[in-house]
Structure 1
Amino acid sequence: MKISEVSKHFNVSIQTLRYYERIGVIPNIPRDTNGFRDYRKSDLYWIHYVQALRRSGVSIHSIQTYVGLVRQGATTRDERKAILLEQRRKLLEQRALIDDALIHMDQKLSVYDEYVVALEENTRPSDQ
């Protein structure tokens, strides 16, 4: 698969794909006979995984560390797991903050809804 197709498939710029390769968060992409990058299925997996890590807030530096550990093999599993556990902890912390904000927002919205109902009841003509 060519870089333009990969870019569209993952909704990521060509420059970002080149950057990921240059800094080592995805493997070096093999080239075809014309010198163009030719992404394999395994390369696409790495791009998908890097994007998932980025969406979860993992820094590029931590991804570089993580990928370096993956390349070192099975002996680094505990270190890799520690990186993921730390990010999970951070995500849970963020979720707690978001959940708290949503509770307050829902309470405020409820107050506005009650205000509108009360206003409508006070402006309706009485049936007397």
Structure 2
Amino acid sequence: MAIKQVAEKFDVSQDTLRYYERIGLIPHVNRNKSGNRDYTEEDCKWVEFIICMRHAGLSIEVLIEYVDLFNRGDESAEARKDLLIEERKQLAIRMEVMKKTLERLDSKISRYEQTIGKREKTLRRSAEQSDNEISD
């Protein structure tokens, strides 16, 4: 699969894919006879994994460490698992903070809506009174 297709499939730029490959987050991508990148299904799985983890907030450094451990083979399985467990803990904390932030935003928005609703009622009453005074 060409880099353009992979970029479109995962909604990232081609430059991002090149960068991920350059820093080792995506294993070396084979090239076709013309010298263009030719992503395999396995390459795409790595791209999907990296993008998913980045969206979850994992740092480039942590992902580089994970890929390095992965490349060491089965002997690093426990270290990889530990790394993922730690990142999961950090993600759970961030999600809790985000949940509280979302609740606070909802509360503030609700207060604004109540305030705006009260102002609109006041303005309508005022306009109705003016209309009544004009027609009397």
TM-score, normalising length: structure 2: 0.79
Q: Which runs of 5+ in 1 are unaligned?
A: none
Q: List runs of 5+ in structure 2 lacking aligned partners.
A: 129-136
Identity of aligned residues (%): 35
1:7 alignment partner in structure 2: 7
Q: Partners of 1:21 and 1:39 in 2: how far apart?
A: 11
What's 2:82 paired with? 82
Residues 10 and 116 of structure 1: is their aligned pair in 2 closer, same or farther, counting only changes over 3 Å?
closer
Q: Tell me how far 1:115 sits from its aligned partner.
A: 4.0
Deviation at 1:81, TM superposition (A): 1.4
Per-residue Cα deviation, 1:13-65 (whole angstroms, up to 9, x for no partner): 11211111111111111111121111111010000011011111111111111
**Number of residue equivalences:** 126
Which stretch of the first structure deviates more once superposed, 36-45 or 106-115? 106-115
| 2:134 aligned partner | none
C-alpha separation in 2, matches of 1:117 and 1:110: 10
RMSD: 2.1
AA partner of residue 89 (structure 1): K
Q: 1:59 maps to what in 2?
A: 59
Structure with bigger gyration radius: 2
